[in-house]
Amino acid sequence: MKNQVVIITGASSGIGKALAFEYGHKGAKITIAARNIEKLHVIEQDLVKQGVQVLSVQTDVSREEDCRNLIEKTIEKYGSIDILINNAGISMRAVFEDLDLDVIRRLMDTNFWGTVYCTKYALPYLLKSKGSVVGISSVAGFRGLPGRTGYSASKFAINGFLEVVRTENLKKGLHVLIACPGFTSSNIRNVALSKDGSSQGETPLDESKLMSAEKVAQKIIRAVERKKLFLILTMQGKMTVFLNKFLHRFMDVMVYNHMAKEPNSPFK
């Protein structure tokens, strides 16, 4: 990873922040992107103190012009791109029957279109470097999760999009990784959208029992180094994806019952 140029979206917290520090420790040149520029500047200062070359770019990935600017600023500073990690994303929690449709639009704009925009503008440089595109997807992109309509839809869309990008560039040396971390300790559930688009406010899960963002980042980096096509983390995640291939009705019941156990679950 020495001197490789890595762009990380959604880098102000959670997995994105952890990836920035892990790649920085390996000697990579980093571009960190997020909507909150103040948080990015704090992370940038910490990385600089550790001798890491880093660029902060305020970016709302739901805006095409922001994604184009992110790529252009990176090229201006470093001259190349080796790895693009599409990590920026938001979640939601509400049954479809009660859901304001604008919530799904917001999920698709950030999770799906953010991945499309950044990948589109970075692709010429990634093809030149024979680099890697990483999509931080989810088990929800393989198995629809009740109460997560927009989230699952956006992750299914990301998976399909990235599989096509991988296949179209099969003979051009481009590596594409679809990474599914499973439930990870982060603030994504705290800021998840409720049925009317307002912030959920608190997580329904015991965050202390979830895989840490730092451990997830280490596994993603290892998967990129090994040019893996998919990364599915946690035993629960692996079993969910595997069983859903063969036992659809069984998994409908299992997933429903699992989600019904969450505090204040909309399911009885």
Backbone angles phi, psi at 8, to 5 degrees: -130, 115
The tokens describing 192, both together, are 């998840």
Q: How far is CA 105 from the centre of its chain?
A: 17
Residue 151 falls in the annotated catalytic set = yes
**What is the distance between the alpha carbons of residues 55 and 80, in angstroms, rounded to a whole number?**
13
Catalytic residue selected from 117, 121, 125, 151: 151
- The token duo for 182 is 């499973």
* Neighbour tally for 53: CB within 10 Å: 16
- Cα 250 from Cα 39, distance rounded (Å): 44
Catalytic residues, by residue number, are: 151
